[in-house]
Amino acid sequence: GAGVSQSPSNKVTEKGKDVELRCDPISGHTALYWYRQSLGQGLEFLIYFQGNSAPDKSGLPSDRFSAERTGGSVSTLTIQRTQQEDSAVYLCASSLARGRSYGYTFGSGTRLTVV
């Protein structure tokens, strides 16, 4: 597609429920990143995928968070047993390749509210 697509755009869930957030990156972009922004905080790195390499999961805040990327394209971020502190805007981004000089193209994000 023309840009990075994320769904849903908004999600309200009850505490303790599982949620899945989806990201469809730009075709041909081999690197895919997940970030989140909690209220009053900056962008926090969660996880990134590069091609067929093992993902860098160093930013995942707990083992309730997991992500996968199928076929080098679509990615799903799963949060199990959601907590109120998981409320945030979750942003997905892709870039042409892994590299420090490649800019990111961001999706419009998923606003997650845990009640």
Partner 1 sequence: ILNVEQSPQSLHVQEGDSTNFTCSFPSSNFYALHWYRWETAKSPEALFVMTLNGDEKKKGRISATLNTKEGYSYLYIKGSQPEDSATYLCAFPYDYKLSFGAGTTVTVRA
Smallest distance, partner 1 to C-beta of residue 14, A? 26
In angstroms, what is the minimal distance from the CB of 109 to partner 1? Answer: 6
Closest approach, Cβ 101 to partner 1, in A, equals: 5
CB distance 25 to 7 below 8 Å: no
Nearer to partner 1 by Cβ, of 19 and 35: the residue is 35
Residues forming contacts to partner 1 in the complex (CB under 8 A) are 4, 31, 33, 35, 41-43, 45, 48, 50, 56, 58-59, 91, 93, 98-109
Quick one: 24 or 82, whose CB is closer to partner 1?
Answer: 24
Hey, what are 107's tokens? 């999706």
Nearer to partner 1, 84 or 101 (CB): 101
By C-beta, is 4 or 114 nearer to partner 1?
4
6 neighbors 92 (Cβ within 8 angstroms): yes
d(CA 65, CA 92): 15
Tokens of 13: 């869930």
DSSP three-state, residue 51 = coil
Residue 55 Cβ, how far from partner 1 at the closest point, in Å? 11
Using CA atoms, how far residue 101 sits from 25, 52, 63, 70, in Å, is 18, 21, 31, 25
